[in-house]
Amino acid sequence: MSSETRTLDNVKDVILSAHMNLSPAEKVEFYNTWSENYDKDVSLLDYRAPLLAANLVSAHFPGERGAALVLDVACGTGLVAAEMKKHGFGRLVGLDGSKGMLQLATNTGLYEDVRQCMLGEDQLPVTWGGLVCMTTRSNRDNLLYKACLEQQLKIMEEEGLWSCVTTTEVEEWERAVSADEEGYIGGCVYIYRVSDVKP
């Protein structure tokens, strides 16, 4: 199906297919195949995470934005980076597990570097200062993933790799896709400051 004829129902079907307890490798492959339609599809969902994430990073960063390094974890196609640039952030490094998503992120020209990396499986490429921004959904289908992500974030904080700046729950994240959910689902933005010295 061409991306020009996609509807909200098509997008719901695509996203629901990714909620079927896929392994990490299967999720990466899902995002590889979805990457070409991703931006148009999330636009149909009224996906607000990039704007919310950029606004929160901006609100919690009092320093010189042009020189600040921001690590965009699970950067996808670069939607957060586009919003960060509007706030004056000039140095962005994108990480994602999907090669398809990273190729599109690279094509935006918004990142000074992009790297394939899975949080919890690969070492973060930046261990010297800077901010890390991550987002995830808070709906029922994503609660297991969210709990695993938060456990990994806590472990990395306990290891001294970074410290939490803010964790913010948002009620209207994007349009719901499950039949038993109506309106908008919630989400969460995590912002961490990477330690200046590698432990």
CA pair distance 20, 106, nearest whole angstrom: 29
pTM of the model: 0.83
Q: Which domain holds residue 96?
A: 3-194
Residue 39 included in any domain: yes
115-151 pLDDT per residue, tens = 998 766 666 665 557 778 888 989 888 888 899 889 9
Residue 199 included in any domain: no
Residue 43 included in any domain: yes
With cut-offs at 50, 70 and 90, classify the pLDDT of residue 63.
confident
CA separation, residue 110 to residues 69, 107, 129, 194 (Å): 13, 8, 20, 21
Token output for 89: 């952030």
Lowest mean pLDDT segment, chosen from 28-37, 82-91, 113-122: 113-122
- Kindly report the CATH number assigned to the domain that includes residue 119: 3.40.50
For the chain, the domain total comes to 1
Residue 56 included in any domain: yes
Backbone φ, ψ for residue 97 (5° rounding): -80, -15
